[in-house]
Amino acid sequence: MPRKDTTTAARTSLPTAPYVRVKRFLKEGLAAGRWPTGTLMPSESELVAQFEVSRMTVTRAVRELQAEGLIDRVQGIGTFAAQLSRVSSTLTIRDLHEEILSRGHRHRAEIHLAKRERASAAVATRLGIQTGSTVFHTLMVHFENDVPLQCEDRYVNPACAPDYLSVDFTQVTPTNYLLQVAPLWEAQYSIEAGLPSEQEAQLLRLRHDEPCLVIVRSTERGGVPITIARLVHPGSRYMLSGQFKP
C-alpha cells in the first residue's frame, strides 16, 4: 500500500497538503520566536516522525523555506533559523509602457536622440568595450497622459543589438525591444534621490531644483554588458512601491 491512508483529520474543511502543514508549522514557530535567530531547528527526520509524512515531503517544505530565506541549512550539521532582519522584498521593475497602460493611461514617447557615437571612457568601461568604439545612444522622454514621467538616457552595446537604431521607439520601448533581442538575465541598479541635469529638467518640464528619483541600471548577460540606462523621474510624480512577504 504505497498510498498512505488519509484517516487523519483535516477532512472537515480544507485537506491542506502535508508539505504546506509542515511549512506552516515552521513558519509560525519562527514568527512566534520559538527558534530565535541562529537556533537549531528540528531535523528532517524529526519532522518526518512528528508529521508522519515521508522525508521528501518534509524536504520540500524545508527547501522552500530556505529559498525564501527564512532558514539556513548546512549539510552534516542541521537547519537553523535565519536572520529575519535581512528580509528582502521583491521590487518588480516593469516596462514603463506596460505600467502606464495597466493604470489605464496613455503612454507616449518623445525621441530626442537616437544615433551612434564614439564611446567615452566612462561609457566604454561600463559597457566593456574600447574607448572610442561605436555605441548606440538614445535619449527620450516618456509621458503618462501627456505628463512627462521619465527621462531615459541609454547607451547600448552594438554587439548585442545591432539593429537597435532602426527601431521606432515611439512604438516600442527600448526595454521592450532589448528584452526581445536578449532577454535580460542579470542587472544591477541603484536608486537615489538627486537633482536633474539642466537638460533633464528642461525635458521633464521641471525646475532645476526639483528632486528626482534617479535609477541607474546596467544590464548584462553572461558577463557581456548589454546596456546602461539612467532613468530620471520627477519626485513629485513617481514612486516605487513594493512588499515584503516572507
Partner DNA sequence: CAGTGGTCTAGACCACTCG
Partner DNA sequence: GAGTGGTCTAGACCACTGT
Q: Which residues are near a copy of itself by CB under 8 A?
A: 30-31, 33, 56, 64, 67, 84-95, 98, 175-176, 179-180, 182-195, 209, 211-214, 219, 221, 233, 235-236, 238-246
Interface residue with DNA among 10, 31, 56, 121 (CB under 7 A) is 56
Interface residue with DNA among 26, 30, 35, 57 (CB under 7 A) is 57
Output DSSP code: residue 85.
G
Minimum CB distance to DNA smaller for 34 or for 55: 55
Compose the 68-107 pattern: x for residues touching DNA by CB under 7 A, - for all others: -----xxxxxxx----------------------------
77: Cβ contacts below 8 Å, ≥ 6 apart: none
C-alpha cell, 242? 513594493
Compose the 14-53 pattern: x for residues touching DNA by CB under 7 A, - for all others: ---xxxx--------------------x-xxxx-----xx
72: Cβ contacts below 8 Å, ≥ 6 apart: 66, 79, 80, 81, 82
Minimum CB distance to a copy of itself smaller for 13 or for 241: 241
Count the alpha carbons within 13 Å of 53 in the hemisphere toward its beta carbon. 18
- The answer to whether the CB of 220 falls within 8 A of the CB of 187 is yes
Q: Which residues pair with 138 in a beta bridge?
A: 114, 154
- The answer to whether the CB of 127 falls within 8 A of the CB of 119 is yes
Q: Smallest gap, in angstroms, from Cβ of residue 160 to DNA?
A: 31
